[in-house]
Structures are given as C-alpha cells and as structure tokens.
Amino acid sequence: MKKLTLILILVSGLFVISATAQEEVSPYFKVAELSGSLTDASAQVKEVITGNGFQVIGEYHPGENEGLFVICFTSDELKNLSLQFKDRGALASVLKAALVKENEKYTLSILNPEYMFLAYWGEQLDGQEAKLTAMSEKVKNAFSPLGKLTTFGGFEEKEDLPGYHYMMAMPYFDDPEELATFSSFEEGLKIIRKNLEAGKGSTVKVYEQLFKGKKVAVFGVGLWDKEEGEADFLPIVGESHIANMPYEIILQGKEATMLHGKYRIALFWPELKMGTFMKISSTPGDIEDMLEGLTEE
C-alpha cells in the first residue's frame, strides 16, 4: 500500500511539473461584443484606457477597412519599463485594442501584454519579471469591466516566447531588418516624419512614440497600399488578429530598423500553417520596401 501511495505521489508530481513546463500563452484576449456605432464602441474603449492611467496615442482603420479599427495606447510607466531593454525594447511600449465589425456588432479584443513582453523582452530580462506581470495584470483589469477576457488566436509555450522563431532558419527578434543609417538621430526623425506626413508609399502615421532625451522613437505605420499592404495580406492571415497592428519602425540613435516580417507575422499569427505563409510569401519583402521608403530622402 505504501508503494502504491508513493507511486501515485510521484506520478502526480510529474503531471504538475509537465503542466508548469508547458504553460501556454495566447497572443490575444477577446473582451466583449459592443453594440452601437463605431463611435460609440471606440468611446467605451477609450474610456477604460484613459480611466486606468493610459494615454491613447493613435488610431486607424487597417487596410482602410471601415469595419476594422485599432486603438493604440501607452503610459509613462510602460515607456520607462521598455527603456530597461536596450535591444529595441521600446517596440513593446505601445499596446493595442481592436474592434472588428461582425453582424452589426463590434468584437473588442486586446493584444496580450504578457505575450508581447516575453517575445520582445524575454531574453533581456534581468529581474523585471514582477514588473512585466504587474503591467499585464493592470491592462487586463482595465478592460475587465467591459467583459470576461478569453484567450484566442493560438498559443505558444511560455518558455518558447523568449528567443521565439517560427522554425529552423527563420529569423529571431534580434534579426531585424536594417532600414537606414542616418548622420544623426535628428536627421532620421526629420526624414521619417516628412515621408509619413506626405503619405509616401500609401503609408499613414498611426502614432509616434518619442522618448525625449533618449534618442529613441517608434513609429506605428499603417500600410494602405491596396496590392501589397494590409488590404492584401490581412484577409489571408486573419483580420481577427489586428490587435497587433500597425507595423513599426524603431529609430535608435542613427539606426532605423523593423522586425523581420517572417518573425513578426509568425509571432502574432501562431496558428498559421506553411501553406498560408506561402500565400503571403512576398509580404515580408513588401512591408520592408514600404518602410524602407520612409527612411529615404
């Protein structure tokens, strides 16, 4: 009897260890279905954002689709936290909420902060784990009055998000696409701003996150080219996942870079099969071309 009890204890322990080791994290939370107009729905979303210490810094319609809407927000606390991660940590300083029109209602979803934080910051963590958890909980608690948060969009194992890549020979977070090297941070800021203001390459500025005195800026860029932009690839990969949009340029010092499309798309659409990736095989290069154009005189 004692042997049987010992065996049961050991087996139970193995199950606990296995469950812990394979904790899954999804990229998105579905929050609620909101009735009324887009104006009404977005007002509700902005109210919970600003009422919980965050600031709205941008909004747009991905692919110029009136049925898709993304709201971008941040906070001083999040900005300061992001600067603790020197390798493009500022990319995770902006969070997103999305509204997708379905049957006269708007489905509200948010990007899971923990998922992005672990993917972007995970390999650079040096004692900030509690701060990441606290920030993630703050965001989830902010949206909880609107509905029960349920995960969707696939998942990755928590331990795999730091150092994530889709498969062998595919890029990692620290394999960015280098867009331009400027003579100074100020020159880069001037050129990118000028091109975004002009809507070069059918782009639109969604937000600019400037870290004053740090020579760091992040630009959220809508890709409105009908043949090569969001209107082309989002219907293929899945419009329900737009709470990761828009794509970004990060300017650090003199260097302007972007996350490799084969990394970023795979990360935020983890359910995609290789067959679907083949349908958008030109998209990573198309995105790079559009964003690179914004860094050129």
Per-residue pLDDT of the chain (297 residues; tens, 9 = 90+): 545 444 444 445 544 444 445 799 999 999 999 999 999 999 999 999 999 999 999 999 999 999 999 999 999 999 999 999 999 999 999 999 999 999 999 999 999 999 999 999 999 999 999 999 999 999 999 999 999 999 999 999 999 999 999 998 899 999 999 999 999 999 999 999 999 999 999 999 999 999 989 999 999 999 999 999 999 999 999 999 999 999 999 999 999 999 999 999 999 999 999 999 999 999 999 999 999 999 999
A 10 A CB-CB count for 78 gives 23
Q: Which fold has domain 25-158?
A: TATA-Binding Protein (3.30.310)
Please state the domain extents for the chain.
25-158, 177-293
Coil/strand/helix, residue 114: helix
Residue 8: predicted pLDDT: 46
Residue 21: predicted pLDDT: 53
Percentage of residues in the chain having pLDDT higher than 70 = 93
Closest CA to 66 of 220, 224, 196: 224
Residues 153-206: pLDDT tens digits? 999 999 999 999 999 889 999 999 999 999 999 999 999 999 999 999 999 999
Contact (Cβ atoms closer than 8 angstroms) between residue 222 and residue 230 = yes
How many Cα atoms sit within 13 Å of 244 on the Cβ side?
A: 26
Kindly tell me the burial class for residue 28, based on how many C-beta atoms sit within 10 Å of its own C-beta (0-12, 13-18, 19 or more): buried
Domain pair 25-158 / 177-293, same fold:
yes
157 backbone dihedrals φ, ψ, rounded to 5° = -70, 140
Residue 22: predicted pLDDT: 79
Closest CA to 100 of 260, 247, 245: 245
CATH architecture of structural domain 177-293: 2-Layer Sandwich (3.30)
Closest CA to 25 of 155, 161, 162: 155
